[in-house]
């Protein structure tokens, strides 16, 4: 009891180490709060940067998918925009050229040989040739020549000057858009075939493989059709087509079938018709002669047999009753 009373009456003694500990704790708390604020700020900045990066990546993906879906048209810059990455390249022009010439020459065989030499000398060829002889004295020839585009005008002028030019026609058709379209579709179709092949390599089930094989066959058929169109366009745009008609002049300078018909012409035509009629009659008689001879022989044999056969005698008819017999001589 005495001890307790003595303790309450004594003034409290403060420890010398309590004050620095409180100060130290307050300082540590301030440092932790500052660090947390800085970390929160840095995390907010990081979150903002990541969000902006995600938005940029999504925009790039959307642009890439749009370009893949729309094809070459999406890759072209908008109207009024300038491209600084690469300069604009000029698109090659693709033209199909055709021409028809009708030329009168002194000798068709010589003109055909000269036209063939001209086409082959220009690096072309003769793709079609038809020669016909008229009335035994005159010849005509039909030629289809294929020559390179760069030599087209020179070959055309040379063929037109090989004789008397009667008619000349030419035409040019621009197919640049068609060529570019086919090339773009071929590129897209090849990429599609490649994607199907990749899916076939990754397919694990037999049903998936069968379905992908059918799809691959269909896309390959479309690709082959486009390649055939491309080859046809390339052939027609690289080689021009020239159709050449060659003929020989007549002796009097005119076709015998032209002009008015006179008396002598009519008389000659009638005589030709009369001779032709007699010829056909002779042919008909010759064709039926064996049959007529056989019928005549059969008729003669029938008469001979009828004459040699005995004639039958007819019996005497009985006299009527009451009739008197004729007196005996």
The pLDDT tens digits along the chain (329 residues) read: 334 444 444 444 444 444 455 555 555 555 444 544 444 444 443 444 444 444 444 444 444 444 444 443 443 443 334 333 344 456 688 999 999 999 999 999 999 999 999 999 999 999 999 988 887 778 899 999 999 999 999 999 999 998 999 999 999 999 999 999 999 999 999 999 999 989 888 888 888 888 888 889 999 999 999 999 999 999 999 999 999 999 988 765 555 555 556 677 788 788 888 889 988 898 888 888 888 888 888 888 888 888 777 655 555 555 555 555 555 54
For residues 81 and 135, the answer to whether their CB atoms sit within 8 Å is no
**Total residues belonging to the chain:** 329
Task: Indicate the pairing of strand 239-247 with strand 125-134.
Answer: unpaired
CATH 3.30.70 fits 95-174, yes or no: yes
| Ramachandran bin of 321, using left for φ above 0, alpha for ψ from -120 to 50, beta for the remaining angles | beta
Task: Indicate the pairing of strand 138-148 with strand 125-134.
Answer: antiparallel
State which H helix or E strand residue 144 sits in.
strand 138-148
Dihedral of CA atoms 274, 256, 131, 116 in degrees, nearest 10, equals 170
Q: What is the pLDDT of residue 262?
A: 67
Residues sharing a CB contact under 8 Å with residue 138, sequence separation 6 or more, in sequence order: 247, 248, 250
Q: What is the pLDDT of residue 319?
A: 53
Exposure class string for 69-103: b at 16+ Cβ within 10 A, else e: eeeeeeeeeeeeeeeeeeeeeeeeebebbebebbb
The gap from C-alpha 229 to its chain's centroid, in whole angstroms, comes to 5
Q: What is the pLDDT of residue 271?
A: 85
Cα-based distances in Å from 49 to 60, 63, 217 = 16, 21, 48
CA nearest neighbour of 101 among 163, 174, 172: 163
Distance CA 152, CA 241 (A): 9
Both tokens assigned to 268:
């000659």
Distance CA 216, CA 210 (A): 10
Distance CA 1, CA 206 (A): 99
Phi/psi of residue 166, nearest 5 degrees? -95, -50
∠ Cα 279 285 291 (to 5°)? 160
Dihedral of CA atoms 248, 251, 252, 256 in degrees, nearest 10, equals -70
3-class DSSP state for residue 128? strand
Distance CA 170, CA 156 (A): 10
Alpha-helical segments (H) within the chain: 2-9, 18-70, 72-75, 108-121, 152-160, 176-202, 206-238, 263-308
Distance CA 27, CA 21 (A): 10
Residues sharing a CB contact under 8 Å with residue 116, sequence separation 6 or more, in sequence order: 126, 143
Phi/psi of residue 162, nearest 5 degrees? -80, -10
Residues sharing a CB contact under 8 Å with residue 112, sequence separation 6 or more, in sequence order: 129, 131, 141, 143, 246
């Amino acid at each position: 009891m005495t001890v307790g009373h003595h303790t309450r009456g004594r003034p409290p003694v403060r420890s010398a180490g309590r004050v620095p500990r409180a100060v130290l704790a307050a300082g540590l708390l301030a440092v932790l709060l500052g660090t947390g604020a800085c970390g929160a700020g840095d995390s907010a900045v990081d979150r903002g940067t990541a969000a902006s990066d995600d938005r940029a990546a999504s925009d790039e993906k959307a642009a890439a998918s749009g370009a893949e879906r729309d094809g070459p048209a999406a890759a072209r810059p908008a109207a009024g925009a300038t491209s600084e990455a690469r300069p604009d390249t000029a698109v090659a022009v693709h033209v199909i050229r055709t021409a028809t010439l009708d030329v009168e020459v002194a000798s068709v065989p010589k003109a055909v040989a000269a036209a063939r030499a001209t086409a082959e000398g220009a690096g072309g060829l003769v793709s079609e040739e038809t020669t016909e002889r008229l009335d035994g004295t005159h010849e005509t020839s039909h030629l289809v020549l294929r020559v390179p585009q760069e030599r087209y005008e020179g070959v055309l002028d040379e063929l037109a000057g090989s004789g008397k030019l009667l008619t000349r026609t030419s035409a040019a058709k621009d197919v640049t858009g068609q060529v570019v379209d086919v090339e773009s579709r071929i590129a897209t179709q090849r990429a599609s075939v490649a994607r199907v092949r990749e899916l076939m390599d990754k397919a694990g089930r037999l049903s998936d493989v069968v379905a992908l094989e059918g799809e691959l066959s269909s896309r390959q058929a479309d690709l082959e059709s486009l390649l055939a169109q491309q080859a046809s366009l390339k052939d027609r745009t690289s080689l021009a087509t020239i159709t050449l008609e060659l003929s020989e002049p007549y002796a009097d300078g005119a076709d015998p079938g032209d002009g008015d018909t006179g008396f002598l012409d009519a008389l000659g035509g009638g005589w030709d018709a009369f001779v032709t009629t007699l010829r056909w009659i002779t042919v008909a008689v010759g064709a039926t002669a064996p049959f007529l001879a056989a019928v005549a022989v059969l008729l003669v044999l029938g008469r001979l047999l009828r004459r040699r056969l005995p004639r039958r005698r007819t019996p005497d008819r009985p006299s009527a009753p009451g009739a008197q017999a004729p007196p005996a001589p």
